[in-house]
Amino acid sequence: MRREMIALNLAKMIYVHYDADDAEAIRTSLRYGDLLISITADIGIISVVDERLRLPAFINQHIALVRVDESKGSPPYIARYLAGPSGEKYFRSITDTGAKPGLSLLAVRRVIFAAPPREEQNAIAEALGDVDTLLLGLDQLIEKKRAVKQAVMEQLLTGRRRLPGFSGEWSPFKLGDVMQPLATAALPRAMMSQDGSIGCIHYGDIHIGSDSLMRCDAASHSRVHPSRAGSASPLKTGDLLIADASEDVGGLGKAVEVALMDSTPFIAGLHLIALRPNPNLVALGFAQFIQYFEQYREGVQRAASGVSVYGLSRAALRSIEVPLPPLPEQQAIAEVLTALDDELRALDERRGKTQHLKRGMMASLLSGKVRLR
């Protein structure tokens, strides 16, 4: 179940053995058209069971099953209303408070929703369903593009596949031999605002992002007053920022290559290692992909220290050795992978606009401000 869409996410299924005569299996078994409501943890997530789910299927104790009398109401409409702004507000108002907030089945039975005539319910559900179909199609296309990029990276960044015109062995280099360390500022998020004149990148900006190229401008990042910047080095396009702290080893060493988009000066903040690649050894646009080298990941894991939070020292990072192709081949690889990233970014932007359109439609159609004729 997911907050932004009533369609179930069937990418990862959990399977069970069951006896058809078992009372618990009978009680929790699903039918097409059933409404599902999360009643623990993240409360009020709404889904509807449709033909994409292969039956028999069951729910656990964290979900309330609501079976609608379809002569009185449309399950897709009711699901969309409860998942919309009014529904979210209602669930927040009736949520039991405490260490583990939850909804009782009695509270679910008392859920209130507003509904137009049955025919209009169907029309609203169909209109919003068309947008969901578009979103699902974009999700599938994005996943396919990501899989293509991953496959291309596995080929090009290991040397198993060479681009036309390139051959010969790659030379091993330590990161410290090809990149110069830069001074950073140990500024936590609390010291940042939108009022300063210097942009400041926090390690959280790297962990939450999906791109390995970070486009930096005044509008997209927090800023600090120059008095807080200290001796931190101003960043340049092409600099590499690496997270030296993470709650899991997989996030340790995650990196972005910086691209400055306007005249705003930027510095690196808390828990970041900033490196400036030697342009004679590392091509512009290629540094961001070094984090995907098998040798890099193995080196980060060997150097990781800590228990609940893992850390990576600058000395350990700079000693990691990776094989680098000649500069012209780096440039060619960067162009191929950057083109794939641009396609993914365009699809993500298109999806964001479609999701924004859906939110506007929900606000209008589910409130009665706009009526379908």
> What was the pLDDT predicted at 209?
82
How many helices and strands, by DSSP H and E, does the chain display? Answer: 11, 15
C-alpha torsion 140→145→147→153, nearest 10: -170
pLDDT value at residue 98: 58
Task: Please check whether residue 123 is in contact with residue 131, taking contact to mean a CB–CB distance below 8 angstroms.
Answer: no
Give the closest residue to 168 by CA, choosing from 298, 339, 326, 314.
Answer: 326
The three-state secondary structure class of 350 is helix
pLDDT value, residue 100: 65
Nearest to 214 by CA among 203, 222, 206, 204: 206
| Residue-level pLDDT, tens digit, the chain, 373 residues | 988 889 898 888 888 888 888 888 888 999 999 999 999 888 889 999 999 899 999 998 899 999 988 888 899 999 999 988 888 888 888 775 555 678 888 888 888 888 899 889 999 999 999 999 999 999 999 999 999 999 999 999 998 899 999 998 999 999 999 999 999 998 877 777 767 889 999 888 898 888 899 999 877 788 888 888 889 999 999 999 999 999 888 899 999 999 999 899 999 998 999 999 999 999 999 999 999 999 999 999 999 888 778 999 999 999 999 999 999 999 999 999 999 999 999 999 999 999 999 999 998 998 888 887 6
Residue whose C-alpha is closest to residue 242's, from 277, 283, 218: 277
Would you state the pLDDT for residue 340?
95
**pTM score, whole prediction:** 0.79
Beta strands 255-260; 213-216: pairing state: parallel
How many CB atoms are located within 10 Å of the residue 291 CB? 20
Identity of the amino acid at 9: N
Q: How far apart are CA 312 and CA 291, in angstroms?
A: 14
d(CA 345, CA 142): 9
DSSP class of 251 = G
CA 246 to CA 207: how far, in whole Å? 8
Length of the chain: 373
Instruction: Give the model's pLDDT for residue 96.
Output: 59
